[in-house]
Amino acid sequence: MTTRRQFLIQTGAGLAALSAGKLSSAKELASAKEEGKRPLVISTWKHGLASNEQAWKILAKGGRALDAVESGVQVAEADPEVTSVGYGGGPDREGHVTLDSCIMDEKGNAGSVAFLQNFMHPVAVARKVMEETPHVMIVGEGARRFALDQGFKEQDLLTDQARKNWQQWLKTGKYKPWSPASNPTHDTISMLAVDQAGDLSGSCTTSGLAYKMHGRVGDSPIIGAALFVDNEVGSACATGVGEEVMKTVGSFLIVELMRQGLSPTEACKEGVQRIIRKNPNWRDVQVGYLAMDRLGRVGAFAIHTGFQYAVHDGQNNVLMDSAGYTD
Ligand code: GLY
């Protein structure tokens, strides 16, 4: 028999009731929290599997979700085979690898860097912005100087393979940024985690769209677009064409929809539909959203099928196929 508590959670009304304070007894609230998987880490694309493994090492020891999401995505940042993030990432049309990243913790603190060049771990610089400055976002030359002040070392991130690919692209003579819709196997890594204490954090890091205009910044460092965390409700993150995510403030939207009682999947689906309703050319772009509510329930939705995400719950670290609007 389904208890009231189970019914609330299964229908998504549990979350609304929690945030509206309708679960009256402390015992009921504690029971509701137990329904979720905790700790848990999820991240975008196949490269999320290795990043989840790293994050899990921290979560399994009772560590903070914040430490897990920072450390986890650094695996993708350092992997030259991941051609959309950090070292080995595709350069802009002028041959510069420019990086965007952000991080957000359970208290709503946030840090980000944009248009940062020559640092292996922009997510770590973003965390320093959050913890060592009164600001949220530092970009370009200012971010470079800040990173150096914080002890980070500069290094060339353009690999031989990425240079060859760029030189090949130059031969076509056309300015058309690479689109995730045309090669939907990987993109930005975004990660969400909940720790044993029930606290949420998230991170996002990317080299952005390959062959973009020099100076172009996507959604990945924009709090509310590529990432949003509200410990009272849940967290959401994005991957795909950043312009579409920014114009609809996707991750903030999804968290607010969960606050109103939508399940993580329903909220991600509405985030995608918002893009589709606003952009007649939506077929040409890919965006995928992930969400995790404070109970540890997970959801995903993308414009096109092909978006995959990795889920690690301590027993398994598995790649899941997201539903897509074009299913
Ligand atoms: N989502 C990555 C970007 O658009 O730059």
Domain ranges of the chain: 4-10+26-321
**Alpha carbon 142 to its chain's center:** 24
Q: Are 230 and 108 in contact (CB under 8 A)?
A: yes
Q: What's the 302 CA to ligand 1 centre distance in angstroms?
A: 14
Phi-psi region at 10: left, alpha or beta (left = phi > 0; alpha = psi -120 to 50): alpha
Ligand 1 atom closest to 100 (CA): 5
Mean pLDDT of the chain: 88
Over residues 245-274, the pLDDT tens digits come to: 999 999 999 999 999 999 999 999 999 999
pTM beyond 0.85: the answer is yes
Ligand 1 pocket mutation pick from 83, 92, 188 by most atoms within 8 angstroms of CB: 188
Render 31-67 in DSSP notation, one character per residue: HHHHTS-SSEEEEESTTHHHHHHHHHHHHHTT--HHH
Q: Which atom of ligand 1 is nearest to the CA of 207?
A: 5
Residue 241 CB–ligand 1 contact under 6 Å = yes
Mean pLDDT in residue range 187-206 = 96
Is pLDDT larger for residue 32 or for residue 53?
Answer: 53
Please work out whether the CB of residue 242 comes within 6 Å of at least one atom of ligand 1.
yes
Going 256 to 258 to 264 to 270, the CA torsion angle's sign is negative
From 219, 284, 289, mutation site for ligand 1 pocket: most ligand atoms within 8 A of C-beta: 219
Can you give the pLDDT at residue 180? 52
The amino acid at residue 280 is P
Query: Counting atoms of ligand 1 from 1, which one is nearest the CA of 209?
Result: 5
- Quick check: CB of 208 below 6 Å from ligand 1? yes
In angstroms, the CA 130 to CA 232 distance is 20
Ligand 1 close to Cβ of residue 296 (< 6 A): no
Give the pLDDT band (50/70/90) at residue 179: low
Percent of the chain with pLDDT over 70: 85
Q: Is 209 in the pocket of ligand 1 (CB under 6 A)?
A: yes
Q: What CATH number does domain 4-10+26-321 carry, 3.30.2310.20, 3.60.20.30, 3.40.50.880, 1.10.10.10?
A: 3.60.20.30
Ligand 1 within 6 A of 206 CB?
yes
pLDDT in tens, 60-104: 999 999 999 999 999 999 999 999 999 999 999 999 999 999 999
What tens digit of pLDDT does each residue of 110-163 get?
999 999 999 999 999 999 999 999 999 999 999 999 999 999 999 999 999 999
Rounded to a whole number of angstroms, the CA Rg of the chain reads 19
Question: Catalytic residue numbers?
Answer: 188
Tell which one of 101, 186, 209, 211 to mutate to probe ligand 1, the residue whose CB is within 8 A of the most ligand atoms.
209
Looking at residue 109, its amino acid is N
CA distance 327 to 177: 25
Q: How far apart are CA 321 and CA 324, in angstroms?
A: 9
Say how many Å lie between the CA of residue 327 and the centre of ligand 1. 23
- Taking CA atoms only, the protein residue closest to ligand 1 atom 4 is 242
Q: Name the H helices within 79-214.
A: 122-132, 140-149, 160-172
Q: In three state form, how does the secondary structure of 183-229 look?
A: CCCCCCEEEEEECCCCCEEEEEEECCCCCCCCCCCCCCCCECCCEEE
